[in-house]
Chain A
């Protein structure tokens, strides 16, 4: 498991936080003049000073972009070339309280805009940066300016932002327009029924604001990934949501239908939230087919392949990051293990799917 922040011992000359890139003595990767965090014989040096990293698994890869906080003796791993989910957590504050939130809100911010910008400018071509929260658009004006600055400095940078789209208004459209090639907005919608959506996200009027947010994203030609987490709460109406998506969301890049992650609020009353698609596959099957019939690409996130009907297995995406992925004994001899996302690290057989089975060739 990769730890996103590492503690170290040793003194370094700088007192203010700074950005650096892990390099090897003698090699010269894409540092673009940034500070070097030199790795040599398994030891790390900054400005000639030796550092030791406390965390056991704290092995840094060449090319990783780090932010060092000397006062806290903390290293934040900002970007790793081999990691597929490089994400900054901007804030843990949120204006919604979703009943299945995997990262329940806290009153904490990490708004190091200047450091993030410098670090983002160092991401090599083809790299992707994620931004999540909490709700990043609670700091909407700073966020939009930050994104504009990022792509000004790093033209091909791909940025995925997770947002509840509650805070966009017509005045943002010009800025969103500038971002519409580089930024993919991941926006959740849980139901076609306003009251049901509002109840799931724990905020009255959220659906109405969401529609307005979609309007701004649509009018600015923004790229959007719709995201729907499955719960017993919204499962019955899923085909109707699919119909809404197929009629009014032809402009989105894809629709991600996501299986519940057994962590955070989702763990509370888990048996009343989790949808066992091995027992009740019909609505999921219909939703994927409805989307497909209208030319919308539906992807299934966090679904092991054996937990969905064979005719929609092609929609399963290998979505669980390797550091929180596990396989269970049934997977050992399964023919589809290589293309499967596996299970969450914190998946528990007893409360999970009733009929998981290996898939024959």
Chain B
């Protein structure tokens, strides 16, 4: 677009005759059709030009403050991952449940040969010592890691000796709340993560099956919430039947949980075999999702509990905080096998948990080394040959490019290749949809949404007025 000779600007149309202009570092303004025309024919007055400059959209002369502040932001936006700071480990693949859409693939509780050996434990501790940052976070995944709390305990103790700032989280189905697990939860550096599909009826249908197991789960959940507070536990719902979504949200409100992550059932692991029709329908999901977000925003205004939606929060953080690269599925560039690593029950390395699943179901071998021989650098380099959206011709035209990312693993899982037509890919449809939803809401100064967005970004009771200052009208 020939704006002010600045080729870095990109335009997209929004609802209500508004438009979005973004630049290469994610500064953005909303502009109505009339002003857009004046903008395009270069008919702006001096104060308007100054406003644009402060908004980051106008051209700044080389080597001036605005120019260099812009360069700084560019470096922040594009900073690559360097040091290992997150490890997902699978001390056992065995599990005592058999959930319909098990995402993590599992082995039978009684099976043999699916647990970490003492040798793997030693090698892992050595690997962390050599490669991880001081405040590394280690996530115990499974299978069901509480079946091998002895290993969990040993890892915590040994890692803590080497990395006193290390942090841990255990992903458990909460069927067993042993005294050892409770004492681990007493530590400030140890939290818990579990699945909660909604009210007992839904959770039972999807996961716990029997009344006894269901009661057991909710008793344990309440015990943790009562004893440690809701910040101790993060709870992830899997939504297999979209018409339940409001009941699920209501239940999260009722339990006064701080956040909910609304995602459709995942197209990976064993889930692939049963729910493929649902997970392909990105557009179907989006309309359900946007209704759900509107519902949360409305409910937050009732004066009671306030809920954050994690997916929205991730997208908003990408828009407003150029330094936010924490979410592996939405960042750019995204180098696999650098800051984030999965170590399976047999000591094999995978770049993400999804990659582990894909390999497990035999779709493609994404193993990138193992705890004995280290990273397979050649394979890592190969996987990273297309790790940025900067060279993608469709992304180049898209105003959401600075906020968006790349997820080659997702493309492999859905299409068996990373050579996909971007605009038709599940990844692009989903994220473009969400960004568009957000900018439409912000552009139209939607009060409820503004407060929800503010809550997502600041963690404090929201103030929608903080999204002012972007409207050129």
Which residues of A pack against B, CB within 8 Å? 192, 211-212, 214-215, 218-219, 239-240, 243-244, 246-251, 282, 285-286, 289-290, 292-295, 311-312
Whether A312 contacts B460 by the Cβ 8 Å rule is yes
Whether A248 contacts B56 by the Cβ 8 Å rule is yes
B457 within 8 A of A: yes
Residue in A239, A248, A292 whose beta carbon sits within 8 Å of that of B458 in the complex: A292
Q: Give the dominant DSSP class at A's interface.
A: helix
Whether B72 contacts A294 by the Cβ 8 Å rule is no
Interface string of B54-68 (1 = CB under 8 A from A): 111000000111101
Pull 15 A–B residue pairs with CB atoms less than 8 Å apart, ordered by A: A211-B65, A211-B66, A215-B68, A218-B69, A239-B468, A239-B469, A243-B469, A248-B69, A248-B70, A249-B69, A250-B73, A286-B465, A289-B454, A289-B463, A292-B457
* Complex A-B, nearest 7 residue pairs according to Cβ-Cβ distance, in ascending order: A295-B321, A293-B457, A243-B469, A215-B65, A248-B69, A311-B460, A211-B65
Q: How far is the CA of A233 from the CA of B467 in the complex (A)?
A: 23
Whether A248 contacts B65 by the Cβ 8 Å rule is yes
A154 to chain B, nearest CB (A): 26
* B residues in contact with A214, CB < 8 Å: 65
Known: A214-B65, A247-B54, A247-B56. A286 touches B463 (CB 8 A): yes
Additional pairs, 14, CB under 8 Å, beyond known A215-B68, A248-B65, A293-B320: A192-B54, A211-B64, A215-B64, A239-B468, A244-B54, A247-B56, A250-B69, A250-B72, A285-B463, A289-B458, A289-B460, A289-B463, A294-B320, A312-B460
Whether A250 contacts B457 by the Cβ 8 Å rule is no
* A residues in contact with B322, CB < 8 Å: 250, 295
B318 to chain A, nearest CB (A): 11
Whether A294 contacts B66 by the Cβ 8 Å rule is no
- Listed residue (A240, A246, A249, A294) with the most chain B CB atoms within 10 angstroms of its CB: A294
* B residues in contact with A249, CB < 8 Å: 69
Q: How far is the CA of A249 from the CA of B322 in the complex (A)?
A: 12
| Residue on A nearest B462 in the bound complex, by CB | A289
Q: How far is the CA of A240 from the CA of B469 in the complex (A)?
A: 7
* B residues in contact with A250, CB < 8 Å: 69, 72-73, 76, 322-323
Whether B54 contacts A295 by the Cβ 8 Å rule is no
Whether A247 contacts B458 by the Cβ 8 Å rule is no
Whether A247 contacts B465 by the Cβ 8 Å rule is no
A253 to chain B, nearest CB (A): 14
Q: How far is the CA of A311 from the CA of B76 in the complex (A)?
A: 28
B111 within 8 A of A: no
Whether A292 contacts B56 by the Cβ 8 Å rule is no
Q: How far is the CA of A239 from the CA of B457 in the complex (A)?
A: 17
Q: How far is the CA of A218 from the CA of B76 in the complex (A)?
A: 14
* A residues in contact with B457, CB < 8 Å: 292-293
* B residues in contact with A292, CB < 8 Å: 457-458, 460
Whether B458 contacts A293 by the Cβ 8 Å rule is yes
Q: How far is the CA of A289 from the CA of B321 in the complex (A)?
A: 13
A147 to chain B, nearest CB (A): 23
Q: How far is the CA of A290 from the CA of B320 in the complex (A)?
A: 10
* B residues in contact with A290, CB < 8 Å: 466, 469
Q: How far is the CA of A208 from the CA of B466 in the complex (A)?
A: 27
* B residues in contact with A289, CB < 8 Å: 454, 458, 460, 463, 466
* A residues in contact with B460, CB < 8 Å: 289, 292, 311-312
Q: How far is the CA of A49 from the CA of B73 in the complex (A)?
A: 61
Q: How far is the CA of A239 from the CA of B466 in the complex (A)?
A: 8
Whether B65 contacts A282 by the Cβ 8 Å rule is no
Question: Among residues 60 to 104 in chain B, which have CB atoms less than 8 Å away from a CB atom of chain A?
Answer: 63-66, 68-70, 72-73, 76
Q: How far is the CA of A248 from the CA of B66 in the complex (A)?
A: 7
| Residue on B nearest A240 in the bound complex, by CB | B469
* A residues in contact with B55, CB < 8 Å: 247
* A residues in contact with B63, CB < 8 Å: 215
B27 within 8 A of A: yes
* A residues in contact with B458, CB < 8 Å: 289, 292-293
A299 to chain B, nearest CB (A): 15
B287 within 8 A of A: no
B324 within 8 A of A: yes
Whether A251 contacts B65 by the Cβ 8 Å rule is no
Known: A240-B469, A289-B458. A212 touches B324 (CB 8 A): no
| Residue on A nearest B321 in the bound complex, by CB | A295
Q: How far is the CA of A239 from the CA of B465 in the complex (A)?
A: 9
* B residues in contact with A240, CB < 8 Å: 469
B461 within 8 A of A: yes
Known: A247-B27, A247-B55. A282 touches B465 (CB 8 A): yes
B56 to chain A, nearest CB (A): 5
A199 to chain B, nearest CB (A): 17
* A residues in contact with B56, CB < 8 Å: 247-248
* A residues in contact with B73, CB < 8 Å: 250
| Residue on A nearest B458 in the bound complex, by CB | A292
